[in-house]
Amino acid sequence: DSGVTQTPKHLITATGQRVTLRCSPRSGDLSVYWYQQSLDQGLQFLIHYYNGEERAKGNILERFSAQQFPDLHSELNLSSLELGDSALYFCASSAGTGGPDTQYFGPGTRLTVL
């Protein structure tokens, strides 16, 4: 158990809909990262938040947005969903020490868009 929790575990929705994925980092970790893993692909970095502030953006679509709240949990919002958005979405957290950190991953949310 990494200490990172993600909800829900599974999500099935229809095209055009909007969903919110939630992540709670390990106790004490200030950084939260979101990744997308499509079928047979590696993890694609989406976005990094540190203590409530956006720090880095990867290949995140404009239809996707994220935020980190004062209690450090994070939400990833996916809107106008398309079939191609079906994927595993992982959240990871790290201490945010200022150097390369080990990232601890949650179990992921499997999103299926029908």
Partner 1 sequence: DQQVKQNSPSLSVQEGRISILNCDYTNSMFDYFLWYKKYPAEGPTFLISISSIKDKNEDGRFTVFLNKSAKHLSLHIVPSQPGDSAVYFCAASGAADFNKFYFGSGTKLNVKP
Q: For binding to partner 1 (CB under 8 A), which residues are involved?
A: 2, 4, 31, 33, 35, 40-45, 48, 55-56, 58, 90, 92, 94, 99-108
Q: Min. distance of Cβ 39 from partner 1 in angstroms?
A: 11
* Cβ at position 100, least distance to partner 1 in Å: 4
15-54 burial string, b = 16+ CB within 10 Å, else e? eeeebebebbbbeebbbbbbbbeeeeeebebbbbbbeeee
> Closer CB to partner 1, residue 35 or residue 64?
35
